[in-house]
Amino acid sequence: MRIASRGLPLLLAALAIAYPWLVPNYYLVYAGALTVMYAAMATSWNLLGGFTGYVSLGHSAFFGLGAYGTGLLVTRLGVPWVVALVVSAVLVTAFAAGVGVAAVRVRGASFVIVSIALVSMMNLVVQGWRSLTGGSTGLQVPSPFPGLHRGQTHMVFFYAFLALLALALLVWWYVSRSRFGAGLRAIREDEDKAESLGVPTGAYKVTAFCLSALFVALAGGLYALWFGSLDPIFVFSILIGSYMVLMSLLGGVRHLFGPLLGALIVAPAGEYFLIALGETQIHLTATGLVLVLVVLFMPDGILARLTRRRAGPSIPDQSADQRLQEVTP
């Protein structure tokens, strides 16, 4: 059992590292890099959503800000791309701290609304600030590796996103075992009780918000360097934010590998829909229907379902009559 649970992740990691060498063409490397990017983003989303239960549909705001920050630093100031990536992620995190202080004052549905407002707001700013960002025509970012052809760039960024994913998973794992993580879980279960027991809920929530924004911003920065052209409508779309939510929910928000599993299902499915159904909008319908089905029938995710079945229910599944028979002589 232990060998299986330890060995499986190692095997999967080995497979992931070997993936670009195993697939026959560069398109699949590209699709793989995209999937790993979404997995990294969903895992970082889960730092907030999974621990605290605060569902943010607006994490694409941090993705877009990270992307635009990196792109602007490279194009306008001529900063080396590594520096631009880190500086922009740090700036976005500082921004997230400011937003977080206001946003986590409200719970539940209001928080979701605020997160939607945030991404719509950023979309407006970036499109409106034409002189800096290029407005709705977008921003062109020079490739950091001009010597490599397109396929090799896909490979480089596949590994970059893989490293980011590993980092996000490591942080999630570390937090889940820490006192901080226990505090965040207490917030999810009952925020008022947690606060009355002395958990600094406000500070914890803002910290989780920032941590989660940091990794999403890094993913955004890498995306900017990878794609080389930024479209504000895509980068700041609520769709990207909802993908993170869908992946996490589908896989299971309470599990380390839940968002990763969700991303492995949703991202390739999305790419497939795009190829199979072409440029129509029907892929939105597919995403929407899957989200409805997951919310209705599997809100705890696939992993929760699998693990519960293996471990067996903690309270035996029997009727009151059966239980009464056990205790009556």
Partner 1 sequence: MSLILQGLALGVLTGGLYALLASGLSLYFGVMRVVMVAHPAFLFLAAYLTYTVHTAFGVDPFLALPVTVPVFFVLGVAVQRLLVARLAPDNLAMMSVLLTFGLALTIEGLLGTFYTGSYRSISMEYATRSLTVGGVSLPYDRIIAFAVAALTLGVLFAVLVKSRFGRALRATIQHPEAARLVGIPTERVAGYGFGVGLATAAVGGTVLALITPFFPASHWVWIGKLMAIIVVGGLGSVVGAALAAVLLGVVEGVVLVTVDATWATMMFYVFVFLTLLARPQGFFGGRLAHRF
Binding positions for partner 1, rule: CB under 8 A: 53, 55, 57, 102-103, 105-110, 112-114, 116-118, 120-121, 124-125, 127-128, 238-239, 242, 245, 249, 280-292, 295-296, 299
d(CA 290, CA 86): 35
**DSSP secondary structure letter of residue 316:** -
Least distance in Å: CB of 129 to partner 1? 9
d(CA 203, CA 209): 10
155 vs 263 by CB, closer to partner 1: 263
Least distance in Å: CB of 214 to partner 1? 21
d(CA 249, CA 251): 6
DSSP-based three-state secondary structure for 212? helix
196 vs 325 by CB, closer to partner 1: 196
Contact 286, 238 (CB under 8 A): no
What residue spans of the chain are helical by DSSP H?
2-22, 26-52, 60-77, 81-103, 108-128, 130-133, 150-176, 179-189, 191-196, 201-227, 232-235, 238-251, 258-277, 282-297, 301-311, 320-327
Contact 180, 171 (CB under 8 A): no
53 vs 258 by CB, closer to partner 1: 53
Least distance in Å: CB of 287 to partner 1? 6
Amino acid found at 315: I
147 vs 313 by CB, closer to partner 1: 313
Least distance in Å: CB of 53 to partner 1? 7
15 vs 293 by CB, closer to partner 1: 293
57 vs 160 by CB, closer to partner 1: 57
Contact 287, 246 (CB under 8 A): yes
Least distance in Å: CB of 169 to partner 1? 24
**DSSP secondary structure letter of residue 85:** H
35 vs 115 by CB, closer to partner 1: 115
Least distance in Å: CB of 312 to partner 1? 22
Least distance in Å: CB of 125 to partner 1? 8
Residues 6+ positions from 193 with CB-CB distance below 8 Å: 186
